[in-house]
Amino acid sequence: MLRKILIANRGEIAVRIIRACAEMGIRSVAIYSEADRFALHVKKADESYCIGSEPVAGYLNVYGLVNLAAATGCDAIHPGYGFLSENAQFAKACADRGLIFIGPAAEVIERMGDKTEARKAMIAAGLPVTPGSAGNLDTVDEALEVAEAIGYPVMLKATSGGGGRGIRRCDSAEELRRNYDRVISEAGKAFGRAEVFLEKCIVNPRHIEVQVLADQHGNTIHLYERDCSIQRRNQKLIEIAPSPQLGEAQRQYIGGLAVLAAKAVGYTNAGTVEFLLDDQDRFYFMEMNTRVQVEHTITETITGVDIVEEQIRVAAGLPLRFRQEEIRRRGYAIQFRVNAEDPQNNFLPSFGRISRYYAPGGPGVRTDTAIYTGYEIPPFYDSMLAKVIVSALSWEDAIKRGERALRDMGLFGIKTTIPYYLEILRHPEFRSGQFDTGFVEKHPELIHYSHKPRPEVLASVIAAAMAAHTGL
């Protein structure tokens, strides 16, 4: 088993990995920029090291992080999600220095990170993929030719894209011409590769993904699916496990496809295979994320499998502790990404000081976060503050629990997406469990909410004012 792990990340996911290390008796090493000096992950780790004054550069310094891990006596590096988590160069640098990268092999990351190569691999494995270009597009004229052949609308995507960036929907040749250079530019700036491809746009699909685990002994399993259809501009907001929209036959089918995809590329560790489901109930492979997902929490909740712990065990060369037939799911789980954004002001970021924070609790409620009362949210990173996860035996009860937990949560000093999520939970379309990726755009009225302060909120504000006045 590993003895010491450097966590090449920050915030909530760093805290999550630190907790897994603590339960496994593994020492954790945190890193931080000056902007993160007072972050929670810095305080919770066994050791913490500053990686520079620049807010982002240190988290992306491949050789700086590898050298730090070696110098501090670490066996391995866990990349979390974002930053270098899907960077093949980082995985290779770890291997070259004798460190274990807690994720798949560099060549698998590289292959699945290239969307055109991933499509080719899935076609060869027999998975259904959306019609599109055979490879990268060299000119806008080539893109226009492909679009004409498969029909509009089409999606123009960065080959190395991810996280909803480097992607444009084009409904006509004019839009494709206009967006081509934009996506090329975005791809070069965000991913270092000015390459794009094109595929048929599945209009308002359901976004379904499957969590897989694979070890170094040939064992690959899935942990059922998650529904990520509630999203805005390709950014996920609310995730659900399992999907309330699938029947049992569909669930088994898509789980089998995900395992087939992982085996086809020799995948190890935790990964996610993402699909689109159209209005004719046809699944199409979209991409594979070669890392732990933000929404891994809801899969853990319904299966009882600690995904981060399994990641560490697999990286250490141990076999999976579960066979596919041993995986059972129980009830439903919903995750809310609580972001520091103002939905009523075009989701403008709302960074600043958290004057008061109260975590929700009670049965079936989990909160993953790195914030605390008095924490100053730096403006240099993602706006996600916390993940509130609720679970219950039925879909209806999970919704009710979500409403109660979000109302319980007290987060003052900044604007958040909590009031907006409460409106979504109350909407009949969401409550019916029948929605698609167009839900947010179809219901702009949900942004026009007006919530009066609850009695407990007023009480907390009064208490905060009294404490400030008396110096308590």
* Residue 13 CB contacts under 8 Å (≥ 6 apart), including other chains: 80, 81, 82, 292, 294
Report the 3 state secondary structure along 91-106.
HHHHHHCCCEECCCCH
Instruction: Name the phi and psi angles at 152, rounded to 5.
Output: -85, 155
407 given a catalytic annotation: no
* Residue 294 CB contacts under 8 Å (≥ 6 apart), including other chains: 13, 81, 236, 239, 337, 384, 387
Spatial distance between the Cα atoms of 426 and 414, rounded to a whole number of angstroms? 24
Q: Which of 357, 375, 376, 377 is nearest to 367 (CA)?
A: 357
Q: Which of 236, 220, 176, 227 is nearest to 201 (CA)?
A: 176
Spatial distance between the Cα atoms of 170 and 201, rounded to a whole number of angstroms? 9
**In 300-456, where do the E strands start and end?**
332-339, 341-342, 348-349, 356-358, 365-369, 384-392, 410-412
State the amino acid at position 215 in one-letter form: D
Question: Is the peptide bond prior to 319 cis by the omega test (within 30 degrees of 0)?
Answer: no
* Residue that has been written with the tokens 């310094």 in this structure: 61
Q: What is the largest CA-CA distance in the chain?
A: 72
H-helix or E-strand spanning residue 151: none
DSSP alpha helices (H): ranges in 234-361? 248-264, 296-303, 307-315
Q: Which of 199, 202, 141, 201 is nearest to 173 (CA)?
A: 141
Catalytic residue among 10, 27, 111, 291: 291
* Residue 27 CB contacts under 8 Å (≥ 6 apart), including other chains: 3, 4, 5, 21, 46, 47
Active site residues: 291
